[in-house]
Amino acid sequence: MNILEVKNLKVWDVHSEKNIIKNSSFHVESGSCLAIVGESGSGKSVTCRAIMRLNSSSLHQSGDILFKGENLNQLSEKELRKKRGKNLCMILQNGMSAFDPSCVVGVHLRETLAEHFDWNRNEMEVKMKSAMESVMLKNPTEIMNKYPHQLSGGMLQRIMIALAVVLEPDIIIADEPTTALDTISQFEVIEQFISLRNRMSCSIIFISHDLGVVRKIADEVLVMKDGDIVEKGTTDEVFSDAKHDYTKYLVSTRLALSNNFKRIMGEES
């Protein structure tokens, strides 16, 4: 069963009239991980922000985005806000940009949870501490009392994953979640995503240009170039029997770059 169906999605800039996403259609099955790959500027992030309706106001969109049969494109901002976080949770590329730099991390977490649950402060903290420990964050109380700039990128990514554990969303959209991290932290964060999926049976849309990571986590792969979907298929199909020249190019160049990552993952290069 498909938990998300995107039909004829178009995104364009109202000022320049440039088409950014030309006419995309794809689906995500319940409990599966779909990776969207492509180089910078291919439209990966714009596509995922369009699902959440979080693109800048100069970008307009049309088409159908069906989440459990309900068209997100037809919901009011207020209705959609209730679904963001609780049903569709986005984990950003740069953990620092997800948190308000003027307040400690715990304030952000409590405000997010208060949007979706009627828990008191103590209940929130107990659940967050448990989730943070489950993603291998030590001393969660101490962490929640720190400002974002006092924490590493890897720690901020884990905090966002821990928040997702508490929210229990149906779909997690992860936009290049390992790009800003060193190789060891990348490995650890990917392991957390795999663990999260196994624990919660949620669906994941995973945006990445690192095909070593994609091969590890994804069931299906969608390849984008210049706002078009040029190829889609199972991970095995795309890696071993790519049809489009651009996909072949990505696979050959990106896998060469990710050999170091694969060695750390304990696989043969």
Task: Using the predicted structure, report yes or no on whether residue 201 has a pLDDT greater than 70.
Answer: yes
228 has a pLDDT exceeding 60 = yes
Residue 203 in this model has a pLDDT that exceeds 90: yes
Distance, in Å, from the CA atom of 99 to the CA atom of 155, rounded to the nearest integer, reads 12
Overall average pLDDT of the 233-256 stretch: 88
Quote the pLDDT of residue 269. 41
CB count, 10 Å around CB of 267? 12
Q: Any idea which fold 1-78+170-176+204-269 has?
A: Rossmann fold (3.40.50)
Token pair belonging to 3: 């938990």
pLDDT tens string 40-58: 889 999 999 999 999 999 9
Mean pLDDT of the chain: 89
At 117-126, the pLDDT tens digits run: 999 999 999 9
* Residue 161 pLDDT greater than 80, yes or no: yes
| Confidence bin at 265 (pLDDT 50/70/90) | low
Q: Across residues 142-149, what is the average pLDDT?
A: 95
Of all helices (H) and strands (E), which one includes residue 112?
Answer: helix 105-116
* Burial class, 122, CB count within 10 angstroms (exposed 0-12 / middle 13-18 / buried 19+): exposed
Q: How sure is the predictor about 19, in pLDDT bands with cuts at 50, 70 and 90?
A: very high
Give the residue carrying structure tokens 């400002």.
147
Beta bridge partners of 141: none
Stronger pLDDT, 73 or 259, i.e. the higher one:
73
Residue 240 or 93, more confident = 240
Q: 13 forms bridges with which residues in the sheet?
A: 59
Nearest to 99 by CA among 143, 66, 50: 143
How does residue 158 score in pLDDT terms, banded at 50, 70 and 90?
confident
Query: Residue 252's pLDDT band (boundaries 50, 70, 90)?
Result: confident
For the chain, give every domain's residue range.
1-78+170-176+204-269
Of residues 268 and 187, the one with the higher pLDDT is 187
Q: Which pLDDT band holds residue 262 (cuts at 50, 70, 90)? A: low
